[in-house]
């Protein structure tokens, strides 16, 4: 059964002229159809528009649908807001690549109307839960793309171990480690030599960042795996952990990073014609010959 959308929340950086223009157009169009329109006060939408400013978490709790206007960074931010409340998310691409925000500005109104009318594809995406623990703290974060361990000082490598389901896997030396979902497999992990994983698969990839040993390669494990990372003692070792680019905290001697599949799932809405492989061809410039998948 198709969802009913009576209240829609907009998120994006209104100060960006490309984003602001689209948010204004969307707000006006939605309100004209009798839909209640909300926006995060931090978006900076000006007075006079048919929009109610509501701060999170009320913004998410009161809405039936979130629309993120911008690039994939905006989508990641919106996904972390929406996932705990299982609110669906639609992306309008006003950024560069747009792997997640797959609706263009030119088709924005048409596609939004289709989705409001129940004509859409709904997809649930795996998210990761990262927990940093030591004797004095426990910090938790969720990520749609990736959890990244990275060095904090330019020019210095870090030494760390990783464990899967309590079993020692390897000791690494390098710039860090990317733990990516299938969604994140086309992001930072791809630039590190990781594989592209279809979003429907229950898998996680571990990609070393600039490893000191060339045979230290990416591996793919089940999303049911429980991962642990420990920093190897070194007086000058400094590392930090990020979730979708947002700092969770420092990983230091004696602390542990635990990563597993999160209970939360990101619910993405796509137009009916959404095609993941066509998206890959477009964004990664594959198949520049005569066959574009039409024959």
Active site (catalytic) residues: 72
Calpha distance 30→9 (Å, rounded)? 10
Torsion of CA 255, 179, 150, 91, to 10 degrees: -120
- What's the order of all strands across the beta sheet hosting 146-151? 219-222, 203-209, 176-180, 146-151, 239-243, 246-251
Q: What are phi and psi of 27, to 5 degrees?
A: -60, -45
Calpha distance 1→78 (Å, rounded)? 24
Q: Distance between alpha carbon 142 and the CA centroid of its chain, in Å?
A: 9
The alpha carbon dihedral of 198, 63, 30, 50 has a sign of: negative
Any residues with CB less than 8 A from the CB of 136 and at least 6 apart, and which? none
Q: Residue 163's closest CA among 213, 237, 232?
A: 232
Pair of tokens at residue 127: 């998210």
């Amino acid at each position: 059964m198709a969802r009913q959308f009576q209240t829609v929340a907009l998120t994006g950086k209104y100060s960006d002229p490309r984003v602001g223009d689209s948010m204004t157009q969307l707000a006006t169009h939605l309100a004209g159809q009798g839909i209640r329109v909300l926006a995060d006060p931090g978006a900076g939408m000006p007075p006079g528009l048919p929009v109610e400013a509501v701060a999170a978490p009320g913004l998410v709790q009161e809405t039936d649908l979130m629309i993120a206007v911008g690039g994939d960074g905006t989508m990641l931010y919106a996904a972390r807001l929406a996932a705990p409340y299982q609110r669906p998310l639609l992306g309008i691409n006003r950024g560069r690549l747009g792997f997640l925000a797959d609706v263009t500005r030119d088709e924005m109104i048409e596609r939004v109307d289709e989705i409001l009318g129940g004509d859409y594809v709904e997809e649930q995406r795996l998210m990761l839960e990262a927990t940093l623990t030591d004797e004095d703290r426990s910090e938790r974060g969720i990520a749609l793309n990736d959890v990244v361990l990275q060095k904090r000082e330019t020019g210095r490598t870090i030494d760390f171990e990783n464990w899967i389901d309590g079993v020692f896997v390897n000791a690494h030396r390098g710039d860090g480690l990317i733990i990516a979902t299938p969604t994140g497999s086309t992001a930072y992990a791809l630039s590190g030599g990781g594989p592209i994983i279809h979003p429907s698969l229950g898998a996680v990839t571990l990609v070393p960042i600039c490893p000191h040993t060339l045979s230290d390669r990416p591996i793919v494990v089940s999303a049911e795996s429980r991962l642990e990372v420990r920093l190897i003692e070194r007086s000058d070792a400094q590392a930090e952990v990020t979730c979708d680019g947002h700092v969770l905290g420092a990983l230091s001697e004696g602390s542990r990073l635990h990563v597993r599949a999160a209970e939360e799932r990101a619910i993405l809405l796509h137009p009916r014609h959404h095609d993941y492989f066509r998206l890959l061809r477009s964004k990664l410039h594959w198949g520049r010959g005569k066959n574009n998948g039409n024959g």
